[in-house]
Amino acid sequence: MTENIGVIGTKPAQRTGVERIVNAPLPTVYGQFRAVGYLDHDRGDEQVALVYGDIGAEGVLTRLHSECLTGDAFGSQHCECGDQLAAALRAVAAEGSGVVVYLRGHEGRGIGLLAKLRAMALQAEGLDTVEANLALGLPVDARDYGVAAEILRDLGVSSVRLMSNNPRKREALLRHGITVAEQVPLLIPPCENNITYLRTKRERLDHHLPHLDAVAHWS
């Protein structure tokens, strides 16, 4: 067998886009998922989609979950991220099929962990989440959902029922060629530690959070 080593003095073409690397069973407290791992050659990020049951192409119950170490792993009450992730995993298990795409590189709406912690420190001094990012000279939301759309296409999904309160996620998927058949609310009861943050998301980032009206008495 002759090995194809290419032309001497040339470099092999660099890969681009998202490549599926592995598909492994992942038993969880929510049910038996499959962890489908991807490598984003453009950004260098490792990504994973948690798939439950036999998903089709249309109307797949889907969550695009932005990585949040403090909420997802540490149970932070500064945000509702950890509770949203748990609720999404429970929802797809109850549905019998669905996908949760866990988007690494989205920490702090795309600004990174340390920058997010710096923004949280400013919020403790009285700034809201939008003001804190801007005070640090950072974008309010730097997330890109192109990778999520590529992952969904690789899984054979063309239309989703998107679990999100953020209309910008819906708009981003539409721009990347994924149909959003329905936007499914993912409302988590607020607490005193995150009510200000959630109100800012509603008032300044257009999140649909009607349940906050029930706690209007909180300052």
Active-site residues: which are they?
141, 143
Which positions ≥6 away from 145 have C-beta within 8 Å? 64, 103, 169, 172, 173, 176
* Cα dihedral 175/132/105/199 (nearest 10): -60
Tokens of 182: 């329905």
Residue pointed to by tokens 């819906």: 170
Alpha-carbon separation of residue 160 from 53, 56, 61, 109, 149 (angstroms): 15, 10, 6, 22, 11
